[in-house]
Amino acid sequence: MNHKNIAAWLAISTVWVAQAAVAAPVSNHPAQVQLQQNMDTVLKVARNTSLNEQQKIRQIEGYADRYLDYQRIAALAVGMPWRQFSDKQKTEFIEAFKDMMISMYARSALMGAADSQVTLLPKLVDNGNNRVDAFTEIRARSGKKYEVAYQLYKVGSVYKVYNIKVDGASLVTIYRNQFNELIKQKGIDGTIATIKAKGLKKVDAVN
Where is pLDDT greater, at 206 or 96?
Answer: 96
Give pTM, 2 decimals. Answer: 0.80
Nearest to 24 by CA among 93, 121, 98: 121
* Domain ranges for the chain: 3-196
pLDDT at 192 over 80: yes
pLDDT bracket for residue 202 (50, 70, 90) = low
Among candidate residues 93, 99, 101, 102, the one with its CA nearest the CA of residue 74: 93
Helix, strand, coil shares, percent, the chain, to 5: 50, 20, 30
CA proximity to 124, closest of 145, 152, 146, 144: 152
Question: Which homologous superfamily is 3-196 in?
Answer: Tgt2/MlaC (3.10.450.710)
* 75-132 confidence digits (pLDDT tens): 999 999 999 999 999 999 999 988 887 777 666 666 665 566 778 898 999 999 999 9
